[in-house]
Amino acid sequence: MPDEKNKVLSVMGFLIEKRVIYDCRTKRLICLNGTAKPISLRKTQSYLLEYLFNHGLNNVVSDDMLMVDVWERNGLRASAQRVWQVINDLKYNVSKSGVSDEFILRVSRKGYFIRSSSVQTLFYHAENEC
């Protein structure tokens, strides 16, 4: 039997407000109480949400950082208008899945962040994958 202490954990997704799971593999928002159908995010929305999970938990991420790290690093054209549009589309999809409108917050003229108290990272053991 392998040593339990040496197992590598990988991020499976994120539990949002104890109601919705974001699955990193399928790029879907899954409502746990069954009141909403699973929502598949578009590529840019999933890049953005994962970036905010990794860099924007209680930490303001500037529009410039988003344009470089989410758009340009993925070969996309960036603009402040495009960031605003994708954030709003993402917020709409997240709220449709049952998460509060206050999940992604804007700090005027600074950027965006997610309250870390509303998110839990979900892990799995890589060798136990289904």
For the chain, the domains span: 4-128
* Whole-number Cα distances in Å, 88 to 10, 78, 93, 112, 128: 29, 15, 9, 12, 36
Q: State the Cα–Cα distance between residues 93 and 95, nearest whole angstrom.
A: 5
* pLDDT, mean over the chain: 90
Sheet containing strand 9-16, edge to edge, reads 39-40, 28-31, 20-23, 9-16, 119-125
Which one of 34-38, 76-80, 115-119 scores highest in mean pLDDT?
A: 76-80
Q: Is the pTM of this model over 0.85?
A: yes
DSSP H or E run through 114 = strand 111-114
pLDDT in tens, 56-80: 998 999 999 999 999 999 999 999 9
Helices (H) then strands (E): counts for the chain: 3, 7
DSSP H or E run through 96 = helix 80-96
Name the pLDDT band for 4 (thresholds 50, 70, 90): low
Token pair for residue 88?
Answer: 């709003």
CATH architecture of 4-128: Orthogonal Bundle (1.10)
Q: What is the dihedral of CA 12, 15, 16, 18, to 10 degrees?
A: 170
